[in-house]
Chains A and B, each alone.
Chain A
Amino acid sequence: MEGFNKTQEILEGLSPKPIPPGLREKILSTAYYRQRKFQVISPVLRTLFAISSALILLAFFCDIMIKNNENDFLTSIMNGSQVSEMILDKDLQEMTKELFKIEYDQRLNQWVIRHYKTKKTAAKLTSYQSIMDILKE
């Protein structure tokens, strides 16, 4: 243990010498040269990027504002009823109907394929009417 402590003391008494003169400048100049060499975005490109980003944001906010104004205008024409909600409701209803129909057709198709097990016949089934025809047969 004593020897260990002595070794520790010897090592603690030693310190690294400073870097040789001129090396600091050499390292910094090389580093900054490489930085310029590998710069992905040049200053001009960076400015253009900032300007285009600002324009995109401006266009986005202008679009929102124009949309709000249009809605207000249409609401005032249609005696105060919310146009956007009406349109949304209508779209939603139609979409639901379509989805229901698609799913219904698909299920019928699957049912026919399961029971008839002939892909040739099943391939002909494209609509509800054709399925009903085959079932009648």
Chain B
Amino acid sequence: MKIEEILDSIGDKLYNYLTIKLGSPLDAEDVLQEVFCRLVRYRVRFRFIRNPSAYIFRIARNEAISFLKHRKKNLKSHHSVERLSNVIQENLRGFDQEVLNHTAEALAKIPADQREVIVLKFFEELTFREISNVCNVSIGTITSRYRYGMEKLRKLLED
């Protein structure tokens, strides 16, 4: 699989995931570049991967985590609910703008690990098994994060 093909097939989803995870489109661009640089450098290893999509999302997640570690000082400003809510609104599209705004705000309010599972499940269309590979935790943990996250979202959307 060529690097252009990968970028065309899951580039949008990766960008969206990284933007929500990092809370900044500019940071997401930097990290996405780094992800593809890594893919090009280790393309020999990539040939033996059974599930390329989950593998790339895992690389993206690891890169995002190390990026956040380097930018620890700015972490608070990036993850403020208001800012994150705006970023999510800008990154998603839906039929109803009001519903989108309300959902983005609710998504910004739930804990980061639960939000990550919901974003990967609904917007990036990964299975629970793939999400567990990406996050390097068991499926049980992923499903419980999903359940708690959905419950919190439901309550926030109903308010």
Contacts and interface: CB of A to CB of B under 8 A. Distances in A.
Contact of B41 (A11, A12, A35): A35
Tell which of A27, A32, A35 has the most Cβ of chain B within 10 Å: A27
A23 B7 CA distance: 10
A115 interface: no
Interface string B72-97: 00000000000000000011111110
Interface residues on B, range: 35 or more
B91 A16 contact: yes
A14 B33 contact: no
A22 to B, nearest CB: 10
Interface in A26-66: 26-28, 30-32, 34-35, 38
Contacts of B3: 28, 31
Given A12-B122, A30-B33, A35-B41, A17 B158 contact: no
Q: Which of A17, A19, A23 is packed against the most chain B CB atoms within 10 Å?
A: A19
Contacts of A15: 92-94, 123
Interface of A: 3-4, 6-8, 10-20, 23-24, 26-28, 30-32, 34-35, 38
B103 A4 contact: no
Contact of B12 (A11, A19, A26, A32): A19
Contacts of B15: 16, 19, 23
B36 A14 contact: no
Interface stretch (B46-54, B61-69, B130-138, B149-157): B149-157
B36 A30 contact: yes
B12 A18 contact: yes
A135 B83 CA distance: 96
Nearest to A3: B154
Contacts, number: 92
B4 A28 contact: yes
A27 B32 contact: yes
B139 interface: no
A103 B150 CA distance: 77
B13 interface: yes
Contact of A19 (B11, B103, B153, B158): B11
Interface in B5-48: 7-8, 11-13, 15-16, 25, 29, 32-33, 36-37, 39-41
Given A30-B33, A34-B40, A11 B154 contact: no
Nearest to B16: A16
A93 B30 CA distance: 72
A17 B92 contact: yes
B39 A31 contact: yes
Top 4 A-B residue pairs of the complex, sorted by shortest distance between their CB atoms: A16-B16, A11-B122, A31-B40, A31-B36
